[in-house]
Structure 1
Protein backbone atom coordinates (compact mmCIF):
# COMPACT_ATOMS: atom_id res chain seq x y z
CA UNK A 1 0.00 0.00 0.00
CA UNK A 2 1.48 3.38 -0.99
CA UNK A 3 1.38 6.47 1.23
CA UNK A 4 -1.57 8.04 -0.64
CA UNK A 5 -3.73 4.96 -0.12
CA UNK A 6 -2.59 4.72 3.50
CA UNK A 7 -3.61 8.32 4.25
CA UNK A 8 -6.91 7.99 2.37
CA UNK A 9 -7.80 4.91 4.40
CA UNK A 10 -6.98 6.73 7.65
CA UNK A 11 -9.04 9.75 6.67
CA UNK A 12 -11.99 7.52 5.72
CA UNK A 13 -11.93 6.19 9.28
CA UNK A 14 -12.15 9.69 10.77
CA UNK A 15 -15.43 11.27 11.75
CA UNK A 16 -16.56 13.96 9.28
CA UNK A 17 -16.43 17.50 10.60
CA UNK A 18 -13.86 16.73 13.29
CA UNK A 19 -10.45 18.41 12.84
CA UNK A 20 -7.34 16.24 12.56
CA UNK A 21 -3.58 16.69 12.28
CA UNK A 22 -0.77 14.75 10.59
CA UNK A 23 -0.10 12.85 13.81
CA UNK A 24 -3.53 11.19 13.57
CA UNK A 25 -2.71 9.72 10.16
CA UNK A 26 0.00 7.36 11.37
CA UNK A 27 2.66 8.91 9.15
CA UNK A 28 6.23 7.78 9.70
CA UNK A 29 9.08 10.30 9.68
CA UNK A 30 10.40 9.06 6.34
CA UNK A 31 6.92 9.40 4.79
CA UNK A 32 6.39 13.08 5.62
CA UNK A 33 7.46 14.41 2.19
CA UNK A 34 5.22 12.04 0.26
CA UNK A 35 2.43 12.56 2.79
CA UNK A 36 2.50 16.34 2.29
CA UNK A 37 2.07 15.87 -1.46
CA UNK A 38 -0.81 13.43 -0.90
CA UNK A 39 -2.51 15.89 1.44
CA UNK A 40 -2.21 18.65 -1.18
CA UNK A 41 -3.86 16.39 -3.77
CA UNK A 42 -6.71 15.62 -1.37
CA UNK A 43 -7.13 19.36 -0.69
CA UNK A 44 -7.27 20.16 -4.40
CA UNK A 45 -9.93 17.49 -4.91
CA UNK A 46 -12.01 18.78 -2.00
CA UNK A 47 -11.74 15.43 -0.21
CA UNK A 48 -10.48 17.35 2.84
CA UNK A 49 -10.36 21.03 3.81
CA UNK A 50 -7.64 23.01 5.57
CA UNK A 51 -8.45 24.89 8.78
CA UNK A 52 -4.97 26.22 9.45
CA UNK A 53 -1.41 25.05 8.89
CA UNK A 54 -1.28 21.31 9.65
CA UNK A 55 -4.96 21.12 10.69
CA UNK A 56 -7.60 19.65 8.37
CA UNK A 57 -11.08 18.16 8.37
CA UNK A 58 -13.18 15.88 6.23
CA UNK A 59 -16.32 17.82 5.22
CA UNK A 60 -19.62 16.59 6.59
CA UNK A 61 -22.28 16.12 3.94
CA UNK A 62 -25.79 17.46 4.57
CA UNK A 63 -28.85 18.52 2.60
CA UNK A 64 -27.29 21.98 2.58
CA UNK A 65 -24.01 20.73 1.13
CA UNK A 66 -20.64 20.29 2.82
CA UNK A 67 -20.55 21.57 6.39
CA UNK A 68 -17.61 23.15 8.20
CA UNK A 69 -16.92 21.92 11.77
CA UNK A 70 -18.46 23.88 14.62
CA UNK A 71 -16.26 26.53 16.22
CA UNK A 72 -15.88 24.46 19.37
CA UNK A 73 -14.82 21.40 17.37
CA UNK A 74 -12.25 23.54 15.54
CA UNK A 75 -10.80 24.70 18.83
CA UNK A 76 -10.64 21.18 20.25
CA UNK A 77 -7.92 20.24 17.80
CA UNK A 78 -5.60 22.61 19.68
CA UNK A 79 -6.48 21.16 23.10
CA UNK A 80 -4.85 17.78 22.49
CA UNK A 81 -1.32 16.64 21.71
CA UNK A 82 -0.85 13.10 20.41
CA UNK A 83 -4.27 12.18 21.74
CA UNK A 84 -3.53 13.57 25.20
CA UNK A 85 -5.46 16.56 26.52
CA UNK A 86 -3.28 19.57 27.27
CA UNK A 87 -5.83 22.36 27.50
CA UNK A 88 -9.46 23.42 27.86
CA UNK A 89 -11.74 26.31 26.93
CA UNK A 90 -12.26 28.83 29.71
CA UNK A 91 -13.40 32.45 30.13
CA UNK A 92 -16.73 33.89 28.98
CA UNK A 93 -17.24 31.14 26.39
CA UNK A 94 -17.15 28.55 29.18
CA UNK A 95 -19.33 30.60 31.52
CA UNK A 96 -21.92 31.02 28.79
CA UNK A 97 -22.00 27.24 28.36
CA UNK A 98 -22.36 26.82 32.13
CA UNK A 99 -25.34 29.18 32.17
CA UNK A 100 -23.58 31.87 34.21
CA UNK A 101 -23.86 34.56 31.53
CA UNK A 102 -25.84 35.30 28.38
CA UNK A 103 -22.87 37.10 26.86
CA UNK A 104 -20.91 35.47 24.05
CA UNK A 105 -17.27 36.54 23.57
CA UNK A 106 -15.56 37.66 20.39
CA UNK A 107 -12.34 36.02 21.60
CA UNK A 108 -12.03 32.58 23.18
CA UNK A 109 -9.53 31.75 25.91
CA UNK A 110 -7.84 28.35 26.15
CA UNK A 111 -5.99 27.33 29.31
CA UNK A 112 -2.96 25.05 29.34
CA UNK A 113 0.02 24.53 31.61
CA UNK A 114 2.30 23.16 28.88
CA UNK A 115 1.53 25.23 25.77
CA UNK A 116 0.43 28.74 24.79
CA UNK A 117 -2.66 28.06 22.71
CA UNK A 118 -2.82 31.12 20.47
CA UNK A 119 -4.26 31.17 16.95
CA UNK A 120 -7.04 32.60 14.80
CA UNK A 121 -9.93 30.56 13.44
CA UNK A 122 -11.95 32.62 10.97
CA UNK A 123 -12.89 35.83 12.80
CA UNK A 124 -12.30 34.29 16.22
CA UNK A 125 -9.05 34.95 18.07
CA UNK A 126 -7.92 32.18 20.41
CA UNK A 127 -5.96 33.62 23.33
CA UNK A 128 -3.79 31.70 25.80
CA UNK A 129 -4.33 31.47 29.55
CA UNK A 130 -2.01 29.73 31.99
CA UNK A 131 -3.65 26.80 33.76
CA UNK A 132 -2.99 26.54 37.49
CA UNK A 133 -2.93 22.72 37.27
CA UNK A 134 -1.77 20.25 34.62
CA UNK A 135 -4.78 19.48 32.44
CA UNK A 136 -6.12 15.95 31.85
CA UNK A 137 -9.37 14.50 30.60
CA UNK A 138 -10.16 13.49 34.17
CA UNK A 139 -9.84 16.92 35.78
CA UNK A 140 -11.23 19.31 33.15
CA UNK A 141 -14.64 19.58 34.85
CA UNK A 142 -12.98 20.47 38.16
CA UNK A 143 -10.75 23.11 36.56
CA UNK A 144 -13.73 24.64 34.73
CA UNK A 145 -15.59 24.88 38.03
CA UNK A 146 -12.64 26.47 39.81
CA UNK A 147 -12.25 28.99 36.99
CA UNK A 148 -15.88 30.02 37.48
CA UNK A 149 -15.22 30.63 41.19
CA UNK A 150 -12.01 32.52 40.34
CA UNK A 151 -13.65 34.80 37.79
CA UNK A 152 -17.03 35.10 39.53
CA UNK A 153 -16.71 38.84 40.13
CA UNK A 154 -15.80 39.58 36.51
CA UNK A 155 -18.25 37.34 34.65
CA UNK A 156 -20.31 39.70 32.44
CA UNK A 157 -24.06 40.03 32.90
CA UNK A 158 -23.89 37.85 36.04
CA UNK A 159 -27.01 37.15 38.10
CA UNK A 160 -25.47 36.36 41.49
CA UNK A 161 -28.28 34.27 43.09
CA UNK A 162 -28.92 32.11 40.02
CA UNK A 163 -25.20 31.71 39.32
CA UNK A 164 -24.51 30.58 42.89
CA UNK A 165 -27.36 28.09 42.53
CA UNK A 166 -25.78 26.72 39.34
CA UNK A 167 -22.39 26.34 41.02
CA UNK A 168 -23.94 24.65 44.05
CA UNK A 169 -25.71 22.17 41.79
CA UNK A 170 -22.43 21.34 40.07
CA UNK A 171 -20.74 20.81 43.45
CA UNK A 172 -23.55 18.46 44.53
CA UNK A 173 -22.83 16.26 41.53
CA UNK A 174 -19.22 15.65 42.57
CA UNK A 175 -18.12 12.54 44.43
CA UNK A 176 -16.21 12.70 47.71
CA UNK A 177 -13.03 11.92 45.79
CA UNK A 178 -13.72 14.70 43.30
CA UNK A 179 -14.45 17.18 46.08
CA UNK A 180 -11.18 16.32 47.82
CA UNK A 181 -9.32 16.79 44.53
CA UNK A 182 -11.16 20.07 43.96
CA UNK A 183 -9.94 21.39 47.32
CA UNK A 184 -6.37 20.29 46.56
CA UNK A 185 -6.47 22.13 43.23
CA UNK A 186 -8.15 25.19 44.80
CA UNK A 187 -5.10 25.70 47.01
CA UNK A 188 -3.16 26.51 43.83
CA UNK A 189 -5.70 29.18 42.82
CA UNK A 190 -5.88 32.83 44.02
CA UNK A 191 -7.18 33.35 47.60
CA UNK A 192 -10.49 34.82 46.35
CA UNK A 193 -11.22 31.48 44.68
CA UNK A 194 -10.63 29.61 47.92
CA UNK A 195 -12.72 32.05 49.94
CA UNK A 196 -15.77 31.88 47.66
CA UNK A 197 -15.53 28.11 47.28
CA UNK A 198 -15.24 27.73 51.05
CA UNK A 199 -18.25 29.96 51.72
CA UNK A 200 -20.39 28.14 49.16
CA UNK A 201 -19.43 24.69 50.45
CA UNK A 202 -20.17 25.84 54.00
CA UNK A 203 -23.59 27.11 52.90
CA UNK A 204 -24.29 23.61 51.56
CA UNK A 205 -23.47 21.95 54.89
CA UNK A 206 -20.15 20.63 53.53
CA UNK A 207 -17.93 22.29 56.11
CA UNK A 208 -15.64 19.27 56.39
CA UNK A 209 -14.17 20.13 52.99
CA UNK A 210 -13.40 23.73 53.91
CA UNK A 211 -10.81 23.27 56.68
CA UNK A 212 -7.78 23.32 54.39
CA UNK A 213 -9.13 26.31 52.52
CA UNK A 214 -9.69 28.25 55.74
CA UNK A 215 -6.24 27.39 57.09
CA UNK A 216 -4.62 28.50 53.84
CA UNK A 217 -6.15 31.99 53.84
CA UNK A 218 -4.79 35.09 55.53
CA UNK A 219 -7.38 35.94 58.24
CA UNK A 220 -6.75 39.66 57.67
CA UNK A 221 -7.46 39.60 53.92
CA UNK A 222 -10.84 40.60 52.47
CA UNK A 223 -12.34 39.76 49.08
CA UNK A 224 -14.66 42.10 47.19
CA UNK A 225 -16.92 39.82 45.17
CA UNK A 226 -20.21 41.78 44.94
CA UNK A 227 -22.16 39.25 47.02
CA UNK A 228 -24.74 40.42 49.56
CA UNK A 229 -24.97 38.80 52.98
CA UNK A 230 -28.63 37.86 52.46
CA UNK A 231 -27.62 35.82 49.40
CA UNK A 232 -24.63 34.11 51.03
CA UNK A 233 -24.66 34.60 54.84
CA UNK A 234 -21.48 32.54 55.15
CA UNK A 235 -19.56 35.25 53.33
CA UNK A 236 -18.87 36.99 56.66
CA UNK A 237 -16.81 34.08 57.99
CA UNK A 238 -14.77 34.14 54.78
CA UNK A 239 -14.17 37.90 54.70
CA UNK A 240 -16.12 38.30 51.47
CA UNK A 241 -17.62 41.74 50.79
Structure 2
Protein backbone atom coordinates (compact mmCIF):
# COMPACT_ATOMS: atom_id res chain seq x y z
CA UNK A 1 0.00 0.00 0.00
CA UNK A 2 1.36 3.42 -0.95
CA UNK A 3 1.56 6.32 1.49
CA UNK A 4 -1.21 8.05 -0.49
CA UNK A 5 -3.50 5.02 -0.15
CA UNK A 6 -2.77 4.92 3.57
CA UNK A 7 -3.76 8.57 3.86
CA UNK A 8 -7.00 7.94 1.96
CA UNK A 9 -7.96 5.24 4.49
CA UNK A 10 -8.15 7.91 7.20
CA UNK A 11 -10.49 10.18 5.24
CA UNK A 12 -14.25 10.00 5.80
CA UNK A 13 -16.82 11.05 3.24
CA UNK A 14 -18.75 14.19 4.15
CA UNK A 15 -15.94 15.51 6.34
CA UNK A 16 -14.08 18.79 5.93
CA UNK A 17 -10.33 18.89 6.51
CA UNK A 18 -7.77 21.59 7.07
CA UNK A 19 -4.31 21.12 5.63
CA UNK A 20 -2.99 20.77 9.18
CA UNK A 21 -5.40 17.85 9.85
CA UNK A 22 -3.65 15.80 7.17
CA UNK A 23 -0.20 16.20 8.74
CA UNK A 24 -1.23 13.49 11.25
CA UNK A 25 -1.21 10.94 8.42
CA UNK A 26 1.27 12.31 5.90
CA UNK A 27 4.84 13.54 5.92
CA UNK A 28 4.43 14.90 2.38
CA UNK A 29 1.19 16.83 2.83
CA UNK A 30 1.50 19.20 -0.11
CA UNK A 31 2.40 16.44 -2.57
CA UNK A 32 -0.42 14.22 -1.32
CA UNK A 33 -2.89 17.10 -1.31
CA UNK A 34 -2.04 17.84 -4.93
CA UNK A 35 -2.62 14.17 -5.82
CA UNK A 36 -5.93 14.02 -3.92
CA UNK A 37 -7.18 17.15 -5.66
CA UNK A 38 -6.02 15.83 -9.04
CA UNK A 39 -7.85 12.52 -8.70
CA UNK A 40 -11.00 14.20 -7.35
CA UNK A 41 -10.85 12.64 -3.88
CA UNK A 42 -10.74 16.06 -2.22
CA UNK A 43 -12.28 19.34 -3.31
CA UNK A 44 -10.79 22.70 -2.37
CA UNK A 45 -13.24 24.93 -0.46
CA UNK A 46 -10.94 27.84 0.38
CA UNK A 47 -7.28 28.40 1.26
CA UNK A 48 -6.21 25.43 3.38
CA UNK A 49 -9.72 23.92 3.59
CA UNK A 50 -10.83 20.78 1.72
CA UNK A 51 -13.83 18.45 1.63
CA UNK A 52 -14.15 14.74 0.95
CA UNK A 53 -17.64 14.80 -0.61
CA UNK A 54 -20.24 12.09 -0.24
CA UNK A 55 -21.28 10.33 -3.45
CA UNK A 56 -24.97 10.07 -4.34
CA UNK A 57 -26.84 9.00 -7.47
CA UNK A 58 -26.94 12.70 -8.37
CA UNK A 59 -23.19 13.15 -7.96
CA UNK A 60 -21.04 14.59 -5.21
CA UNK A 61 -22.78 16.48 -2.42
CA UNK A 62 -21.35 19.61 -0.76
CA UNK A 63 -20.40 19.38 2.92
CA UNK A 64 -22.91 20.32 5.60
CA UNK A 65 -22.64 23.95 6.62
CA UNK A 66 -22.05 23.10 10.28
CA UNK A 67 -19.09 20.88 9.36
CA UNK A 68 -17.73 23.54 7.01
CA UNK A 69 -17.89 26.31 9.61
CA UNK A 70 -16.53 24.09 12.40
CA UNK A 71 -13.43 23.22 10.35
CA UNK A 72 -12.93 26.79 9.21
CA UNK A 73 -13.08 28.15 12.77
CA UNK A 74 -11.35 25.17 14.39
CA UNK A 75 -13.97 25.70 17.08
CA UNK A 76 -17.34 24.24 18.11
CA UNK A 77 -18.52 27.47 19.69
CA UNK A 78 -20.61 29.16 17.02
CA UNK A 79 -24.22 29.72 16.03
CA UNK A 80 -25.18 29.46 12.37
CA UNK A 81 -28.28 31.39 11.38
CA UNK A 82 -29.89 33.40 8.58
CA UNK A 83 -32.37 36.28 8.34
CA UNK A 84 -34.76 33.68 6.87
CA UNK A 85 -35.08 32.23 10.39
CA UNK A 86 -37.01 35.35 11.45
CA UNK A 87 -39.88 34.26 9.18
CA UNK A 88 -40.75 31.50 11.69
CA UNK A 89 -41.72 34.15 14.27
CA UNK A 90 -44.81 35.23 12.33
CA UNK A 91 -44.15 38.96 12.75
CA UNK A 92 -44.38 39.96 9.10
CA UNK A 93 -40.90 39.12 7.79
CA UNK A 94 -41.33 37.19 4.55
CA UNK A 95 -38.26 38.05 2.47
CA UNK A 96 -35.84 35.28 1.55
CA UNK A 97 -32.16 36.13 1.89
CA UNK A 98 -29.17 34.29 0.47
CA UNK A 99 -27.19 35.08 3.58
CA UNK A 100 -25.72 32.95 6.32
CA UNK A 101 -24.58 34.58 9.54
CA UNK A 102 -22.13 32.87 11.89
CA UNK A 103 -21.93 34.25 15.43
CA UNK A 104 -18.60 33.18 16.91
CA UNK A 105 -15.69 34.23 19.12
CA UNK A 106 -12.82 34.18 16.60
CA UNK A 107 -13.46 35.49 13.10
CA UNK A 108 -15.11 38.62 11.69
CA UNK A 109 -15.84 39.37 8.06
CA UNK A 110 -17.22 37.84 4.88
CA UNK A 111 -15.73 34.53 3.74
CA UNK A 112 -16.54 32.29 0.78
CA UNK A 113 -16.31 28.61 1.70
CA UNK A 114 -17.09 26.12 -1.05
CA UNK A 115 -18.97 28.63 -3.22
CA UNK A 116 -21.08 29.72 -0.25
CA UNK A 117 -20.79 33.10 1.43
CA UNK A 118 -20.76 33.33 5.19
CA UNK A 119 -20.85 36.50 7.28
CA UNK A 120 -18.82 35.84 10.42
CA UNK A 121 -19.61 38.15 13.32
CA UNK A 122 -17.75 38.14 16.62
CA UNK A 123 -20.24 38.23 19.46
CA UNK A 124 -19.42 37.76 23.16
CA UNK A 125 -22.66 35.88 23.91
CA UNK A 126 -25.01 33.71 21.87
CA UNK A 127 -26.98 30.55 22.67
CA UNK A 128 -25.90 27.06 21.60
CA UNK A 129 -28.99 26.74 19.45
CA UNK A 130 -31.66 29.03 18.03
CA UNK A 131 -34.62 29.74 20.30
CA UNK A 132 -37.72 31.80 19.65
CA UNK A 133 -36.63 34.34 22.27
CA UNK A 134 -33.15 34.74 20.79
CA UNK A 135 -34.57 35.08 17.27
CA UNK A 136 -36.90 37.89 18.35
CA UNK A 137 -34.07 39.77 20.09
CA UNK A 138 -31.77 39.17 17.11
CA UNK A 139 -34.48 40.45 14.77
CA UNK A 140 -34.71 43.71 16.74
CA UNK A 141 -30.89 43.92 16.78
CA UNK A 142 -30.80 43.66 12.97
CA UNK A 143 -34.08 45.34 12.02
CA UNK A 144 -32.32 48.17 10.20
CA UNK A 145 -30.64 45.74 7.79
CA UNK A 146 -33.86 44.09 6.59
CA UNK A 147 -35.93 44.96 3.54
CA UNK A 148 -39.29 44.82 5.35
CA UNK A 149 -41.37 47.77 6.57
CA UNK A 150 -39.81 48.31 10.00
CA UNK A 151 -42.86 49.99 11.57
CA UNK A 152 -45.11 47.13 10.48
CA UNK A 153 -42.71 44.53 11.85
CA UNK A 154 -42.41 46.42 15.16
CA UNK A 155 -46.21 46.47 15.55
CA UNK A 156 -46.26 42.72 15.06
CA UNK A 157 -43.38 42.31 17.53
CA UNK A 158 -45.38 44.20 20.17
CA UNK A 159 -48.26 41.74 19.67
CA UNK A 160 -45.93 38.74 19.67
CA UNK A 161 -44.44 39.74 23.02
CA UNK A 162 -47.87 39.37 24.64
CA UNK A 163 -47.95 35.62 23.98
CA UNK A 164 -44.30 34.75 24.61
CA UNK A 165 -42.68 33.60 27.85
CA UNK A 166 -41.86 36.98 29.44
CA UNK A 167 -39.10 35.67 31.73
CA UNK A 168 -37.26 33.86 28.92
CA UNK A 169 -37.59 36.86 26.63
CA UNK A 170 -36.30 39.20 29.32
CA UNK A 171 -33.27 36.95 29.90
CA UNK A 172 -32.54 36.81 26.16
CA UNK A 173 -32.90 40.58 25.85
CA UNK A 174 -30.49 41.23 28.73
CA UNK A 175 -27.99 38.67 27.46
CA UNK A 176 -28.10 39.16 23.68
CA UNK A 177 -29.83 42.48 23.02
CA UNK A 178 -28.14 45.58 21.65
CA UNK A 179 -28.59 48.87 23.53
CA UNK A 180 -31.42 49.71 21.11
CA UNK A 181 -33.10 46.32 21.57
CA UNK A 182 -32.97 46.64 25.37
CA UNK A 183 -34.48 50.15 25.25
CA UNK A 184 -37.29 48.86 23.09
CA UNK A 185 -38.08 45.48 24.62
CA UNK A 186 -37.46 45.81 28.37
CA UNK A 187 -40.06 48.58 28.96
CA UNK A 188 -42.61 46.58 26.96
CA UNK A 189 -41.94 43.49 29.05
CA UNK A 190 -42.14 45.50 32.28
CA UNK A 191 -45.43 47.01 31.14
CA UNK A 192 -46.78 43.57 30.31
CA UNK A 193 -45.82 42.26 33.77
CA UNK A 194 -47.47 45.25 35.49
CA UNK A 195 -50.61 44.79 33.41
CA UNK A 196 -50.80 41.11 34.40
CA UNK A 197 -50.41 41.91 38.10
CA UNK A 198 -53.07 44.61 37.83
CA UNK A 199 -55.66 41.91 37.37
TM-score (norm 2): 0.65
In the alignment, structure 1 residue 64 sits paired with structure 2 residue 64: no
Q: Residue by residue, what CA displacement relative to the aligned partner does 1:154-180 show, whole Å, maximum 9, x if unpaired?
A: 5333663666676777x54x9x7x667
Equivalent residue for 1:138, pick from 128, 132, 141? 128
Any idea what SS the aligned residue of 1:84 has?
coil
**Which residue of structure 2 lines up, in the alignment, with residue 185 of structure 1?**
175
Inter-partner Cα distance in structure 1 for 2:39 and 2:141: 48
Cα distance 1:143–1:162, how it changes in 2: closer, same or farther (>3 A)?
closer
Q: Residue by residue, what CA displacement relative to the aligned partner does 1:109-151 show, whole Å, maximum 9, x if unpaired?
A: 43334322431246654334342x245x636657555322312
Inter-partner Cα distance in structure 2 for 1:21 and 1:120: 15
**Which residue of structure 1 lines up, in the alignment, with residue 11 of structure 2?**
11
Q: Is contact 2:70–2:76 with CA below 8 Å preserved after alignment?
A: no
Inter-partner Cα distance in structure 2 for 1:23 and 1:140: 31
Deviation at 1:67, TM superposition (A): 2.1
Inter-partner Cα distance in structure 1 for 2:19 and 2:162: 42
Q: Is contact 1:120–1:126 with CA below 8 Å preserved after alignment?
A: yes
> Which residues of structure 2 form unaligned runs of 5+?
none
> Which residues of structure 1 form unaligned runs of 5+?
209-232, 234-241
Deviation at 1:55, TM superposition (A): 1.5
Any idea what SS the aligned residue of 2:28 has?
helix
Equivalent residue for 1:102, pick from 89, 94, 104? 94
Deviation at 1:195, TM superposition (A): 3.1
**Which residue of structure 2 lines up, in the alignment, with residue 119 of structure 1?**
111
Q: Is contact 1:112–1:129 with CA below 8 Å preserved after alignment?
A: yes
Q: How many residues end up aligned between the 2 structures?
A: 191
Cα distance 1:154–1:66, how it changes in 2: closer, same or farther (>3 A)?
closer
Cα distance 1:40–1:167, how it changes in 2: closer, same or farther (>3 A)?
farther
Cα distance 1:157–1:179, how it changes in 2: closer, same or farther (>3 A)?
closer
Any idea what SS the aligned residue of 2:138 has?
helix
Deviation at 1:65, TM superposition (A): 1.8
Inter-partner Cα distance in structure 1 for 2:3 and 2:157: 53
Deviation at 1:193, TM superposition (A): 0.8
Q: Is contact 1:96–1:102 with CA below 8 Å preserved after alignment?
A: yes
RMSD: 4.2
Any idea what SS the aligned residue of 1:118 has?
strand
Cα distance 1:128–1:197, how it changes in 2: closer, same or farther (>3 A)?
same
Q: Residue by residue, what CA displacement relative to the aligned partner does 1:68-87 show, whole Å, maximum 9, x if unpaired?
A: 236x4575346642x432x4
Equivalent residue for 1:50, pick from 44, 49, 52? 44
Any idea what SS the aligned residue of 2:97 has?
coil
